[in-house]
Structures are given as structure tokens and as C-alpha cells.
């Protein structure tokens, strides 16, 4: 990772974590167990990619001050909610995430289900209190059955299918991952009051890196090891999941990720030099597998 | 149930169901399974108590037209989301609800978890599109860890505890049930532009019937049969749950429900004759066990 980008992530992760610390219910509030469980997963070493995307989009669209932080935190809560439910025994049944035992392994399944629910509800509470109605709409459509949840369903249903076609695979990737990534960027841009041209550029960028990100993730599941990845590797293969490398092979997957990232970078042309950091970030996404 | 009230429920249930039919994603939309699962539980014979409370409060606070229906539908989706998750094997592990197999029994656990999530997200999408920010806040605080989810956690954690004290029991009842009932009423009142005095009266009424409703539910779990109740009876006892009759006995529980309902009716004084239907509804709640 480029030094400037690394520094940015360090600074913003710290700031987002401070905001999260304040926006999440305190661990001491009753019932203690659910608040512990929520905070456990929220502070389990996430990359804060979605908050950073939101904050960067906010900045390059002319947004000022700390206005985008509550939304950035809400997006990270939504993402974490989806991970907790995704890891459940009835879903992907994963024991580790980011090198730590998954939520249900520590707190039990019931609390894990409720902690996911609570993070989702709490994130909406933040949008209702500090952000605004257009963002409530934007995020709901990215998360619902026409978005992330739809992708998870298709993903589960693809398991064990002998042949996964390209159309299904694209549906899964776009819905499961790309939509929330694009919405994270769009949220920052909307809060900054971006005009239509800027919003369209940001959206195109998100679609490129969002899809590339999922392809890279699938490749890493095959090529990395548990220590580096912090979660079980090979679980996609084990679960007979629809993945890019399964359909196209590793080399073609890498090439496709690279192509998408270049397309994403091109979409930022109208931002000129201000888009430098988002371009770096796009490069970083494919770097992980090249 | 009084004839006027019965007629009102029939009319409003039909209207709410029509709205729900339009507001929920069509069953034919991809992925079909999740939309089937959402609609299965939404149209499984729910009493539509929360929508009716919202609509009645809207009306007696001077609200006009169909303005409260989207919020009423969102409240029912939130309620159904909580029931689907509550019935999961890792939670209450119930096989029947309203005389029909529970969601996970029909669609499997993974889809049931995701259908609950999707209903919650979709409900927020409706609030974002048709309702407004104050209601997003209001409902989030009723549902989160300071509300319904907090109550579910305390409920689960009380299972198997030898002695449940009165304080814990009250915490569970208030959070698990009363908060969403009160918020249903408050939502209708807020949409109608109710002043503070009316909002306070509606809130007090909700607190009374909300608590009474849960007490009655606990009594019915002991005294009714599966056919009448449409769900497994005695499951609270089986799960060693904290309930009112367990702590105070059935007679005292009935008396307390009656007292709460009378208090609720008194709170409606400032609405005069306009409060008649809400008073009938309060009576109906205790009638079920008397």
C-alpha cells in the first residue's frame, strides 16, 4: 500500500473508531451482553474500507468538516451486521473472521443474531438522528433484497450447484458486495451535495472497485493462508460456492479485476488531481493478488 | 370482541394487506425464495394490532386520509421481522406460529434469518421513502437494544434462571413488547401532527395496554391450547422463561392486566368520545383471558 494511502487509513481508522465509540451504546448499558457482542465485532480489526470510501467521496465532492462521520459509522455497522449473520452456522458457518473467533463462537448464536439485528437498527437510528432521509433510502435499497440481502440469498442458493453460470455469478457479486461499496461512496457524495455528474462518476468508480474487490476476495480464498487472511481459507471451495476463479480460473480473474480497477480510475477524470487518493485505493485492491 | 371493533379490524386488515401487497417486493422478483419467505410470514394471519393502533392514533389526533398506511405497514414488517428471528432454533425454537409452520420450518434457517433482515431493511426503506426522519428515529429507539432487542436479550438470558425477580420481568415486558406497541401509537400521532398533551396521553395509553398485552400473552401460554392459540403452548414453562404468571400466579396476573388497561383507558380522557375505539381495544386485550 502506498504511503499516503496507508497514512490516510491510519488517521481515518482512528477517527472512525472514536466516532464509533461514541455512537455505539456503552458496554455498561443493560443488557450488557448484547452491547459487548456488538462492540466485539465492531472493533475486531475491520479495514474500515466503507467508512474511508464514504469520507473520501465526501471530500472530493467538496464536503467539509466532520459531517460525513456519522454516516460513515452507520455504513460500517451495516457491513458488520451482514458479516455476523453471514458467519452463522446456518449460513457460511465460519469460525474465524479477521483472525478472531466469529461473534457466535464467543457469544452464542442467539446473541449473534440479535447483535446483527441491533447493529442494523442502531445504524438506522444514527441516519435518522444525524444524517437524513435521502441516505435512509439510499442505504435501504443497497442493503435489501434488491441489494446485499438478495446477493446473500443467491450466494447460498448457488452452493452445491454443479454449474454456476456467469449471469448468476455476476448477480451475486454485484448484489453481495458492490452495491454497499458503491453506496458508501454515494453516501459521502450526497452529503457533500454533489451534482449529478459527480455522483455519476463516483457511482461508476464504485461499481468498478466493488466488483474487483469481490473477485480479489474470491482469489484470496484460494491462494492465501489462514494466518494472512485472518479467516478460514478454501471455505468457498468447501461450500462449493459460485466464485470468479471457479468459473474463469485464477489468471483470468486477476486480469478482470485489473481491468475493472482501470475502468474505475478512468471514471474519476472529472475530479482531476483531487481523485488521487481514490485512484491509489483502487490500485491497492488489485495489488493484494498481484 | 365488540362489533364495532370487529368491523374496524376487518376493514383495516383488508386495507393494510392491500398496502402491504404493494409495498413488499413482488414474489416474482429475483431471488424469488426470499420474497416468498417474506410474504409467507407477512400474510400468515397476523392480527395487524400494531398497524391498527397506528391508524387509530392517527385518526383521533386529527390525521386525515391514507397518510399513516405506509408507516403502519412498516411497523407490521418490523414486528414480523422480530417474530421470524424469535422463532429460530437458536432462540425460542418454535415450530408453529398463528397455526402455521414458522418461517425457518418452511424455508430453512438461512433464508429465515435473511427474510427477517430484509423485512427490517425494507421497512426502513418505506420510512425513508414515504414517512419521515422523526419516525425513523422513533422506531429505531423502540426496536434497538434500549427497546425490543434489549428485551429479547433479557428474555433469553432469563431462561433457566431459578428465580426471576420482578425488576427483570418488568424490564423484559416493557422492552420486548410494550415499546413497539407504544411506538406504533406514537407513530400515528406524530404523523397526524399531535401536540404534546395528545402525544403524552397516547404514550401513557400505549404503556398500559402494551404491558397488559404481554401479561395476557403469558397467561394464555399457560391456559390456552395449541389449536386456539395457533402456536405451541406451554413453551414459556418449558423454556423456563420469566413470565408474569410464573412470578405472581394466574389470578394476580389477570388482575394486574385489568388494572393496567383501566389506567390506559383513563389516559384517553382528553380525547372524549373520539377515544371510544381505543378504549374498546384496551378492553379486548384483557377479555381474552377473563
Beta strands in chain A (DSSP E): 96-97, 100-101
Whether B208 and B53 have beta carbons less than 8 Å apart is answered as no
All cell numbers assigned to A104: 457466535
Residue B113 has pLDDT above 80, yes or no: yes
User: C-alpha grid cell for residue B11?
Assistant: 376493514
Measured at the CA of B96, the angle between CA B90 and CA B101, to 5 degrees, comes to: 100
Confidence tier at A251 by pLDDT (50, 70, 90): very high
pTM: 0.94
How far away is chain B from the Cα of A264, in angstroms, using its nearest Cα? Answer: 27
Average pLDDT over residues B166-177: 92
- Percentage of chain A with pLDDT > 70? 94
pLDDT for residue B163 is more than 80: no
If pLDDT is split at 50, 70 and 90, which confidence band does A238 have? Answer: low
Which of these, B272, B207, B277, lies nearest to B7 by C-alpha position?
Answer: B277
Q: Higher pLDDT residue, A135 or B238?
A: A135
Kindly report the nearest CA distance between residue A203 and chain B, in angstroms. 20
- Does residue A226 have a pLDDT over 90? no
Closest CA to A119 of A181, A176, A73: A73
Most confident of B42-46, B91-95, B118-122, B221-225: B118-122
| pLDDT, tens only, B130-141 | 999 999 999 999
Q: What tens digit of pLDDT does each residue of A103-123 get?
A: 999 999 999 999 999 999 999
Q: How far is CA B222 from CA B155, B163, B260, B276, in A?
A: 17, 18, 20, 31
Put simply, the answer to whether A125 touches B136 (Cβ < 8 Å) is yes
β-pairing, B100-101 with B96-97? antiparallel
Residues of A whose CB is below 8 A from B127: 136
Closest CA to B117 of A86, A195, A72: A86
B24-29's contacts with Cβ under 8 Å and 24+ in sequence apart are B24/B77, B24/B122, B25/A144, B25/A145, B25/A146, B25/B122, B29/A145, B29/A146
Is the CB of B114 less than 8 angstroms away from the CB of A149? Answer: yes
Percentage of residues of chain B with pLDDT beyond 70: 94
Least confident of A91-105, A181-195, A246-260, B221-235: B221-235
Chain B contacts of A171, Cβ < 8 Å?
30
**pLDDT tens by residue, B189-240:** 999 999 999 999 999 999 999 999 999 988 988 887 666 666 666 666 666 7
Contact B136 A124 (CB under 8 A): yes
Q: Average pLDDT, stretch B74-88?
A: 98
Q: What is the mean pLDDT of chain A?
A: 93
Instruction: Evaluate if residue A231 carries a pLDDT over 70.
Output: no
Closest CA to A281 of A184, A151, A179: A184
**A-B Cβ pairs (cutoff 8 Å, strict):** 144
Q: What is the mean pLDDT of residues B56-62?
A: 98
A108, A121, A132: residue with CB nearest B143: A121
Q: Rounded CA gap, B169 and B240, in Å?
A: 13
Residue scoring higher pLDDT (A179 or A235): A179
pLDDT at B164 over 90: no
The CATH number assigned to the domain with range A3-287 reads 1.10.600.10
The Cα A250–Cα A258 span in angstroms is 12
In 3D space, the residue among B268, B232, B279 whose CA is nearest the CA of residue B8 turns out to be: B279
Cβ-based contacts of A116 with chain B (< 8 Å): 117
- Rounded CA gap, A202 and B236, in Å? 52
Tell me the residue length of chain A: 290
A236 vs A73, residue with greater confidence: A73
3-state helix, strand, coil in chain A (%, to 5): 75, 0, 25
As a whole number of angstroms, the distance between CA B44 and CA A235 comes to 36
- Distance from the B36 Cα atom to the nearest Cα atom in chain A, whole angstroms: 12
pLDDT at A233: 62
Subunit contact A137:B153, Cβ cutoff 8 A? no
What distance in Å separates the CA atoms of residue B74 and residue B126, rounded to the nearest whole number? 7
Subunit contact A171:B90, Cβ cutoff 8 A: no
ipTM at complex level: 0.94
Option in B113, B125, B153 nearest A33 (CB):
B153
Q: What is the per-residue DSSP string for A21-42?
A: HHHSPPTTSSSHHHHHHHHHHH
Question: What is the pLDDT, as a whole number, of residue A163?
Answer: 75
pLDDT of residue B158: 87
Look at residue A225 and tell me whether its pLDDT is greater than 80. no
Given this model, what pLDDT does residue B10 score? 96
Q: pLDDT by residue (tens digit) across A33-85?
A: 999 999 999 999 999 999 999 999 999 999 999 999 999 999 999 999 999 99
Residue from A111, A50, A52, A47 nearest A84 by CA: A111
Domain layout of chain A by residue ranges: 3-287
Amino acid at each position: 500500500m502506498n504511503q499516503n494511502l496507508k497514512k490516510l487509513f491510519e488517521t481515518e481508522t482512528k477517527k472512525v473508531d472514536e466516532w464509533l465509540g461514541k455512537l455505539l451504546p456503552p458496554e455498561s448499558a443493560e443488557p450488557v451482553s448484547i452491547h459487548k457482542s456488538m462492540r466485539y465485532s465492531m472493533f475486531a480489526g475491520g479495514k474500515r474500507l466503507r467508512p474511508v470510501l464514504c469520507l473520501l467521496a465526501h471530500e472530493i465532492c467538496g464536503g467539509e468538516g466532520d459531517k460525513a462521520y456519522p454516516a460513515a459509522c452507520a455504513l460500517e455497522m451495516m457491513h458488520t451486521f451482514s458479516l455476523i449473520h453471514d458467519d452463522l452456522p446456518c449460513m457460511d458457518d465460519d469460525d474465524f473472521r479477521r483472525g478472531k473467533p466469529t461473534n457466535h463462537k464467543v457469544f452464542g448464536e442467539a446473541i449473534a443474531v440479535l447483535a446483527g439485528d441491533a447493529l442494523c437498527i442502531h445504524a438506522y437510528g444514527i441516519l435518522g438522528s444525524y444524517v437524513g432521509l435521502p441516505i435512509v433510502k439510499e442505504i435501504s435499497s443497497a442493503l435489501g433484497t434488491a441489494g446485499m440481502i438478495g446477493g446473500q440469498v443467491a450466494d447460498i442458493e448457488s452452493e452445491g450447484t454443479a454449474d454456476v453460470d456467469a449471469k448468476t455469478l455476476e448477480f451475486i457479486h454485484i448484489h453481495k458486495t458492490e452495491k454497499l461499496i458503491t453506496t458508501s461512496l454515494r453516501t459521502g457524495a450526497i452529503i457533500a451535495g454533489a451534482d449529478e455528474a459527480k455522483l455519476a462518476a463516483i457511482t461508476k468508480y464504485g461499481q468498478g472497485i466493488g466488483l474487483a474487490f469481490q473477485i480479489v476476495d474470491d482469489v484470496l480464498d484460494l491462494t492465501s493462508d489462514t494466518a494472512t487472511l485472518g479467516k478460514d481459507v478454501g471455505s468457498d471451495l468447501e461450500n462449493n460456492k459460485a466464485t470468479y476463479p471457479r468459473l474463469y480460473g485464477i489468471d483470468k480473474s486477476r486480469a478482470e479485476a485489473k481491468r475493472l480497477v482501470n475502468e474505475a480510475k478512468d471514471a474519476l477524470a472529472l475530479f482531476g488531481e483531487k481523485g488521487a487518493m481514490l485512484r491509489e485505493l483502487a490500485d491497492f485492491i488489485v495489488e493484494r493478488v498481484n
